[in-house]
Amino acid sequence: MFVLPALFVAGGSCITKVYALDRSSGHSTVSIQKQTNDVDDDVDGSSVKTAKSSTSPILASPVQRYDEEQSSSSEMVEGPPSTADLTKAPLEALSSVVDATRNAIRSYLAGNKDEAVKSLEYAADQGHAPAQWKLARMYAEGDGVPRDDLRAFEAFSKVCDRHADEAPDSPTAPFVANAFVALGSYYLNGIPNSAVKANPSRAREMFNYSASYFGDAQAQLILARLYLEGIGGSKDMKQAVRWLNLSAEKGNRIAQAQLGQLLFSGEAGMKQRARGLMWLSVARVGADPQKDAWIIDAHEEAMEKASEADRYAAIAYGSQREKRSK
């Protein structure tokens, strides 16, 4: 029995419903010319790392590096202003978008989210993608501000409109990739009591862009699910396996487990029990007993059904994969 867990997640693990769209037309302003690692729920990539946490590691890391650099030279020069001082800095004192973003991060971490929003809005108006992304996440989750899905969508749309052609290996890319994942989720579910209706085919375009152009592992996983279930277009098992494999190779545990189930059961078109068992074993490592109980169950079931030859072959496949990844 092929079991698929509840999936859709913005920015990292499984995607929950997020909504938004253009207030007037109900359509995104994003123009797709071509179709998409770890904002992990994080953008860690993603899963975007997908950005599942309101204090995204990717957004916070520049501050951490900045603090480390400053502390290393504290014996020679006076240190930077304290966090408390920075949270009180007026917006007019911000000399650049970088300063605004730093102030936003420090204010956010200090619990001063009102000041963080002001600084993020300043940086976002200048086209700073990470600031636009973080502001969108705050409105989407009601984090420090009243939840406003339409405002969240507008901020995500700005990221996608202005940075769709960002180099996939640039520091900004994870934020943009996750923004496309978020827009895909909006189109997939629609917004209750609004002009925004579910548009699965448009959702597939968003996920496809993030998955193909940016190589985002979370988008690849979701796109595979759309192909498996025929959402937003026809079912295509080969495409589903392709996208699952790409996501699995990037370390996405859900993709690894689902790919393993498909290959072991033969639902992918032909049985590849050893490869399927290998992927289930990889997914089983580090699986959380509560959140990933279905992965543990699937692995145990496959182990019971596998022959001794299947198990030895799975070990061999696993060894080959480890060598390739080194």
Q: Does residue 26 register a pLDDT over 80? A: no
Q: Does residue 305 register a pLDDT over 70? A: yes
**8 or 103, greater pLDDT:** 103
Average of per-residue pLDDT across 167-175: 93
Average of per-residue pLDDT across 151-177: 91
Segment among 53-57, 119-123, 230-234, 289-293 with least mean pLDDT? 53-57
Highest mean pLDDT among 16-30, 147-161, 301-315: 301-315
Mean pLDDT, all residues of the chain? 74
Average of per-residue pLDDT across 154-168: 91
What domains does the chain contain, in order, with CATH numbers? 1-70+81-251 (1.25.40.10), 252-326 (no CATH)
Average of per-residue pLDDT across 3-28: 40
pLDDT in tens, 175-215: 999 999 999 898 888 878 777 788 999 999 999 999 999 99
Global pTM value: 0.68
SS (H, E, C) the chain: CCCCCCCEECCCCCECCCCCCCCCCCCCCCCCCCCCCCCCCCCCCCCCCCCCCCCCHHHHHHHHHHHHHHHHCCCCCCCCCCHHHHHCCCHHHCCCHHHHHHHHHHHHHCCCHHHHHHHHHHHHHCCCHHHHHHHHHHHHHCCCCCCCHHHHHHHHHHHHHHHCCCCCCCCCHHHHHHHHHHHHHHHHHCCCCCCCCCCHHHHHHHHHHHHHCCCCHHHHHHHHHHHHHCCCCCCCHHHHHHHHHHHHHCCCHHHHHHHHHHHHHCCCCCCCHHHHHHHHHHHHCCCCCCCCHHHHHHHHHHHHHCCHHHHHHHHHHHHHHHHHHC
pLDDT at 46: 36
pLDDT at 6: 38
Average of per-residue pLDDT across 157-173: 92
pLDDT in tens, 96-145: 555 666 777 777 777 777 778 887 887 777 788 888 888 888 888 898 88
pLDDT at 193: 77
Q: Does residue 38 register a pLDDT over 50? A: no
pLDDT at 304: 96
